Structure 1
Amino acid sequence: MGSFGFVEVESGAMNTSMEDVMKPIQPFLTYDELLYINSYLLSISIPICIFGIFTNIVNILVFYKMGFSSPTNISLFCLAIADLLTLCFSLVISFGNHPALIRDDLSFSMIDFSRVGAQVYYSSCAIGSWITAVINVERSFCVVFPMKVKQIFTRKTTARLIAGMVIYQIASGLPRSFGVRFAWIPSAVTNRTIISYVIFNPRLVSLSYLVSFSLPNLICFFVVVVGTIFLISKFKQSRQLRSTMSRTGEKSNKMSDKDARLVRSMIFVSALYIYGATPNVLLYVIPAAYPSLHMDNPYLGYLHSLLLLAAIVAQAASCSVNIFVYVRMGSNFKTKATSVTISEVTPWPVGYQYYDILRDSVTSRLPAL
């Protein structure tokens, strides 16, 4: 060894100290940095989820009062239920992974408790993706085949499609229950034995996630993106044609005002879905091209965990703001929304006057198109 601590090697070889050889790999994101970012990220996620739960309860009540006379109302009613379930379990995941609760001396692991809720979260997300794709395809058919769409997408057809999606998600997600179990294991944080979520058949669990969440989301995401681009192009053509006809005094039967409002609303709903689903799609598309990005990687594992929670926050945000699109959809939804009382939304009889003020403010600022 030389005087400067380097190993003497033959000429032309790189000199490397023993300290450099034994130095462990430093992760791209340290555990403390992960907790610091998650504390802010999940603190934002919790109020978003609570707000979204409230707004989706309102959506469910309004669509129920509007009735199920059209396939679109049935689809939007079921979408509100799927979004409500997604937000409920997003709230569970946010509390379970919050750094302020991880080190609590409990008899069970909060992270493992949230992983149980994640099973329902992924299924409800996939159901929401299916329904959004059905709505998008139905609106596209309405533009292409306006005279035949009522025979293709009837109320019974829509109800059967949604029921089939729910049955598929239950059947494809059920095998995950046979690959996991609860066990008493020592905690590395509190140094006591706690109930933890143990995966003893990872291949079965991974396959179930692939079939019940990854593939449906990827297919529906592609369908919604293509359908949204198509609807935007047709909507622009309709506006240009209507503008030309208004100048020449001719009448056009390409798209009625009601259909134009509905298509525009579906474009916004699809755009919100794309915003919320894009992080999840990227999380299982990028690892296919870059396999090192996974949770067990010592260098990128914490980064993968952060991206996973960020995807949950984005999904929660997209599920929470649909009510603003629905209010702008037309006067019917706004009229029914103004008739919803706070006692129908929550069992706690507080804040009636503040709710009325907020409701009137929102509906007055968002007039019908």
Structure 2
Amino acid sequence: MHHSSEEEITRSPAERPMTEGPFQTWANQSSKDPSVQILTAGFMTDEQFNMITLILVFVLQVSNITALIGNSLNIAVFVRLGFAEPSNISLTALAICDLVCVISSIWSNLCFLLNFWHPILPFNVTNVSILTGGGLWSFVSRTVAWITAFISFERCLCILVPLKVKSLITPRTTLTAMLIIAALTVCPFLFSFLNYNFVWVYYLQSNATILDVVPNDNKYSILIAKIVFVICGVIQPVLAFFIVTVCTVFLVVQLKKVSLWRTSVTSAKSQWEDNSGENTASNNASATQNRISQKEERLVRLVVVIAVIFIACFIPTCALLLCSALFDEFFVFGVYGRIFVVCSLITFLGQSVSGSVNTIVYYNMASKFRSGLRELLGLNPEEEKIINS
């Protein structure tokens, strides 16, 4: 990335050229606001757009604060529990990525509010926040999607090859998988980031020099941006969503089969015990196997709940990406820019909600996590029992 501090670009808003890419600007900007304005084809008035976005930003910010606290607690608890279990590694990576998404979303919201209440700022709020906030969020959200896909696929392997899964899924292989996923989903963001320059732009009509973001105009940068968008912006998240959906359906079907099997075995066992009191050792061994299967079943149920929440919250993101790929003007600086912004805030909200409710899911469905969280917060279960009694 090139930072221009010595040379200033002097342009009035009406003189700025049209450029390709996600930071496209246009000629008919406001003389009062040096930041880029978002166009629309008559679908929303200024008042409607401002009201809708302010409501969404407020709700999103509340959800972000909840997710920030929740994911921070998740990371702290999993660190206390240790990483002997591969699932703790993947769930910690998921919490870290959710935390990064939340922080980038908070930054984007603050930039939006600054731009709304104080339009004249020392930097182009729209362009800078999209690159540093929204861009980072979009790539890290892909990491969240693929980590969820890995966790779901791991549980499927536990059902398909239960005797081999411990040798296949180890703490080392899980950590390696997390690093590979991060490299494949986040590193392209760095290439995309290098396609833009931070420059100082002097606006004649506002008589102000502000920090702005402009894309590189060479054909290779434009080609790289298009390739990154197709691969990382559309193919990666949609494929991850498909994998999570298929694995979740498989796990739900298997849970139903296990539940029916356990019911039939329990019924047969009760009938057999009524007819004979022998083979106590065999009964104890069978009980031990049932306890192990029930432990595995609880973990599968936990993964299913996480996956279902992810699917429900990620549907708006997939819809937004597909519309962006199909319609050229459906992006933040396109003809349908205002609609795109509203839809983007909805996708931000979905990701934030998904990250904020995981703590509740872990607490209700994972006994070790519940104990670890109580210890972290200084809640002694024994003292609580005495107080409650």
Q: Under a length normalisation based on structure 1, what TM-score does the superposition of the two structures give?
A: 0.79
Aligned-residue sequence identity (percent) comes to 25
| Cα pair distance change 1:187/1:57, threshold 3 Å | farther
> 2:23 corresponds to which residue?
none
1:305 aligns with 2:344: no
Q: Distance in 1 between matches of 2:373 and 2:225?
A: 42
> 2:297 corresponds to which residue?
260
> 1:178 corresponds to which residue?
194
> 2:139 corresponds to which residue?
123
Q: Under a length normalisation based on structure 2, what TM-score does the superposition of the two structures give?
A: 0.75
Deviation at 1:291, TM superposition (A): 5.0
Q: Distance in 2 between matches of 1:329 and 1:294?
A: 40
| Cα pair distance change 1:191/1:45, threshold 3 Å | farther
Contact 1:96 1:102 in 2 (8 A): no
Contact 2:248 2:307 in 1 (8 A): yes
Alignment of 1:84-103 (within 5 A): 84-98=99-113, 101=116, 103=118
SS of alignment partner, residue 29 of structure 1: coil
> 2:129 corresponds to which residue?
114
| Cα pair distance change 1:223/1:172, threshold 3 Å | same
Q: Distance in 2 between matches of 1:171 and 1:121?
A: 13
What is the identity, as a one-letter code, of the residue corresponding to 2:104? F
> Which of residues 305, 320, 331 in structure 1 aligns to 2:367?
331
| Cα pair distance change 1:235/1:185, threshold 3 Å | same
Contact 2:72 2:99 in 1 (8 A): yes
Q: Distance in 2 between matches of 1:236 and 1:209?
A: 40
Q: Distance in 1 between matches of 2:334 and 2:169?
A: 47
Q: Distance in 2 between matches of 1:41 and 1:31?
A: 15
Deviation at 1:217, TM superposition (A): 1.1
What is the identity, as a one-letter code, of the residue corresponding to 2:187? A
Q: Distance in 1 between matches of 2:115 and 2:200?
A: 23
1:32 aligns with 2:68: no
Deviation at 1:170, TM superposition (A): 4.0
| Cα pair distance change 1:59/1:185, threshold 3 Å | same
Deviation at 1:119, TM superposition (A): 2.9
SS of alignment partner, residue 185 of structure 1: strand
Mark the runs of 5 or more structure 2 residues left unpaired by the alignment: 1-39, 271-285
Q: Distance in 2 between matches of 1:226 and 1:99?
A: 42
Deviation at 1:186, TM superposition (A): 5.3
> 1:230 corresponds to which residue?
250
| Cα pair distance change 1:303/1:109, threshold 3 Å | same
Deviation at 1:199, TM superposition (A): 2.4
Contact 1:49 1:90 in 2 (8 A): yes
RMSD over aligned Cα atoms: 2.7
What is the identity, as a one-letter code, of the residue corresponding to 1:40? I
SS of alignment partner, residue 147 of structure 1: coil
Which shifted more, 277-286 or 258-267?
A: 277-286
Contact 1:133 1:220 in 2 (8 A): yes
> Which of residues 71, 81, 99 in structure 2 aligns to 1:66?
81
Mark the runs of 5 or more structure 1 residues left unpaired by the alignment: 1-24, 343-355, 365-369
> 2:235 corresponds to which residue?
215
What is the identity, as a one-letter code, of the residue corresponding to 2:67? G
1:155 aligns with 2:171: yes
SS of alignment partner, residue 376 of structure 2: coil
> Which of residues 129, 137, 146 in structure 1 aligns to 2:153?
137
> 1:240 corresponds to which residue?
260
CA offset digits 1:324-344 (Å, max 9, x no partner): 1111223211111011149xx
Q: Distance in 2 between matches of 1:221 and 1:242?
A: 31
CA offset digits 1:284-326 (Å, max 9, x no partner): 223445555444443x332122111211111111111100111
| Cα pair distance change 1:177/1:100, threshold 3 Å | closer
Q: Distance in 1 between matches of 2:206 and 2:67?
A: 34
| Cα pair distance change 1:206/1:187, threshold 3 Å | farther
CA offset digits 1:14-68 (Å, max 9, x no partner): xxxxxxxxxxx95222333221100000001111111111111100010011111
Tell which has more relative contact order, 1 or 2 (C-alpha 8 A, sep 6+).
Answer: 2
1:165 aligns with 2:181: yes
Contact 1:182 1:198 in 2 (8 A): yes
> 2:226 corresponds to which residue?
206
Alignment of 1:275-354 (within 5 A): 275-291=312-328, 293-298=330-335, 300-341=336-377
Alignment of 1:352-367 (within 5 A): none
| Cα pair distance change 1:187/1:260, threshold 3 Å | farther
CA offset digits 1:241-261 (Å, max 9, x no partner): 111222222769687111111
> 1:11 corresponds to which residue?
none
Q: Distance in 2 between matches of 1:146 and 1:256?
A: 11
| Cα pair distance change 1:213/1:286, threshold 3 Å | closer
CA offset digits 1:177-220 (Å, max 9, x no partner): 22111223356996633212222344433332333343221111
SS of alignment partner, residue 105 of structure 2: helix
Deviation at 1:99, TM superposition (A): 7.2
Q: Distance in 2 between matches of 1:191 and 1:308?
A: 32
Q: Distance in 2 between matches of 1:338 and 1:189?
A: 59
Q: Distance in 2 between matches of 1:100 and 1:183?
A: 19
> 1:353 corresponds to which residue?
none
